[in-house]
Structure 1
Amino acid sequence: GFAELRRQLVYKSMRTGARVHVIDRWHPSSKTCSNCGTVKAKLSLNERTYHCDACGFRIDRDLNAAINIEKRIVAPSAEETLNARGGDVRHDRRKPAAQTPAKREPSSHNNGMRLGASLGNETVQTTTD
């Protein structure tokens, strides 16, 4: 189950020097607007598109939750130092980058953001009314 997955993630991350961030299962990541921060009182599981009544923002529910989790992990006061492929984002010429970024694979789509492509999910466009 999830306990074993978490145990394995923690174990592997300790070996590689990566960090595992655990978010409380009751954190309202799906109910919080990633655009303005308003929290919905109720959001049923069958509502797959999040719509904020306060600012009119529309976004895929899972993408909205992912953005909120990312915001919680990467605090605005702490500058990110590595990008997703492991390359140094701070281009400090005085010292070489700690890691060489992995090659980015070409995208098979032109616009939007791809969520769980192997799961058959569609390209997602975000809009504000």
Structure 2
Amino acid sequence: MKNNKLIAAFLNTSNTNNYHSDFNALMIAIEKIEGTSVNGYTWTTTEDKTPVEFQFTVEISGAQCMVCRDVSPQYYGTEIDFLKLYDCRNKSKIDAMYLAVVSFIKWYNRQTKLKCFNNPNHLN
């Protein structure tokens, strides 16, 4: 599957496991997401772009899986489900987890390609 190759590239491995059907393999990707932190910018006022660090957590509950973006300094808070993944039509927990991982990797790759991180002209 194409998205299994995407996940393998994110993990820097040539092993394209069955991420879509293997909880253990998928958890490796989730752990990497949770270990990811990037520098970026956020608005604090209409004219001010403030440097911040984004860290990510993955919340799994029932057939839902959401990626949250935590902003440091901590007083900027947490954006719950910043990729807008909550969907009551998910068929299973692993499907929701797979969708969340693939969505995060695509977002991350797009941000990296556009050089959005560490660039005050691009708000993350």
Name whichever structure is richer in helix by fraction. Answer: 2
Query: Is TM > 0.5 for Structure 1 vs Structure 2?
Result: no
Q: Which has the higher contact order (CA 8 A, sep 6+)?
A: 2
Larger Rg: 1
Q: Which range, TM-score by smaller chain? A: under 0.3
